Amino acid sequence: MVRPKKHLGQHFLKDQQTARKITEALTAGPGESVLEIGPGTGVLTQFLVQRPDISLRVIEIDRESVAFLQRTYPALAIVEGDFLEIPWEAMATGPVHIIGNFPYNISSQIFFRVLAHRQEVRSVVCMLQKEVADRIAEKEGSKTYGILSVLLQAYYTVDYLFKVPPGVFHPPPKVMSAVIRLVRNEREHLGCDEALFQKVVKQGFNNRRKTLRNALKVLAFPADVYSLPVMDKRAEQLSVDDFINLTRHIQDRERAARI
């Protein structure tokens, strides 16, 4: 028996139907690689191992869960370690689909690592706290639209699948949960300086009540950048495409300022 450890965000799913539904949302096709983050006691894993057509690997930080999984699924490829720290190559080579009932305390960080590997991560199916799921799926104009919404939606199509109440977990988390799916879009490249894009999005939302003119002041772009009409708006009013266009404008002005 593996006892849940709170500091590892362990809330084990008890409901088999919910577990099945999550694994059925996986878009991986025959021959493709799948990485499960935080299998714990294997409630999702038990369904995933029933698919011999996929190549499954799991990454789990908890020694006791790892030992349990080794005993229960001797043929399973288990990587023991921290998803946020371990070299990517230890978990995946080439295109990969990610699935998991995420440790909620690090779900945003998991997505930042996914973003860093956006050319390899084809899709993500995950359960996380509803509030974060909402933020990721939200469109511009909403109070919860933020950094992760813009950065993830730039590269992924986000589907909000279903909500999950606390009672189906042991122990029950304090918050509602939700399952979402992200599928990599066709956009190989944004057509702008992607590092600058991320910087503008992050800085814009760090001061989300301010106009972009004020929020982006610290980035000290050439003066005429700040006279663009879009600078009157707040970050939450800009779509992904608006942010891409803004980044292109900034690049143009920076180039012009250097000449």
Query: Is residue 83 part of the contact set for ligand SAH (CB under 6 A)?
Result: yes
Q: Which is nearer to ligand SAH, 70 or 157 (CB)?
A: 70
38: left (phi over 0), alpha (psi -120 to 50) or beta: left
Task: Identify which range of 76-84, 88-96, 138-146, 152-160 contacts ligand SAH by CB under 6 A.
Answer: 76-84
Query: Is residue 13 part of the contact set for ligand SAH (CB under 6 A)?
Result: yes
Decide: 199 and 219 in contact? Cβ < 8 Å. yes
Query: Is residue 136 part of the contact set for ligand SAH (CB under 6 A)?
Result: no
Query: Is residue 98 part of the contact set for ligand SAH (CB under 6 A)?
Result: no
Q: How far is the CB of 56 from ligand SAH (least distance, A)?
A: 13
Task: Determine the Cα–Cα distance for residues 189 and 181; give it in Å rounded to an integer.
Answer: 21
146 phi and psi angles, rounded to 5 deg: -155, -160
Q: Which residue in 70, 82, 144, 224 binds ligand SAH (CB under 6 A)?
A: 82
Tokens coding 164: 């999950």
Task: Determine the Cα–Cα distance for residues 77 and 59; give it in Å rounded to an integer.
Answer: 9
Q: Which residue in 12, 88, 112, 226 binds ligand SAH (CB under 6 A)?
A: 12
Q: Which residue in 28, 69, 91, 106 binds ligand SAH (CB under 6 A)?
A: 106
Residues in the chain: 259
Q: How far is the CB of 152 from ligand SAH (least distance, A)?
A: 19
Task: Identify which range of 8-16, 152-160, 180-188, 235-243 contacts ligand SAH by CB under 6 A.
Answer: 8-16
Secondary structure of residue 192 in the 3-state scheme: coil
Q: Taking the mean position of all CA atoms in its chain, how far away is CA 230?
A: 28
Task: Determine the Cα–Cα distance for residues 39 and 62; give it in Å rounded to an integer.
Answer: 10
Q: Which element (helix H / strand E) includes 134?
A: helix 130-137
Q: How far is the CB of 102 from ligand SAH (least distance, A)?
A: 7
Q: How far is the CB of 107 from ligand SAH (least distance, A)?
A: 10
Strand order across the beta sheet in which 96-101 lies: 77-80, 55-60, 33-37, 96-101, 121-129, 177-184, 156-164
Decide: 33 and 117 in contact? Cβ < 8 Å. no
Query: Is residue 23 part of the contact set for ligand SAH (CB under 6 A)?
Result: no
Q: How far is the CB of 91 from ligand SAH (least distance, A)?
A: 10
Fill in the per-residue mask, 26 to 65: x = in contact with ligand SAH (CB under 6 A), - = not in contact: -----------xxxxx-xx--------------xxxx--x
End-to-end CA distance of the chain: 68
* Residues binding ligand SAH (CB under 6 A): 8-13, 37-41, 43-44, 59-62, 65, 82-84, 101, 103, 106
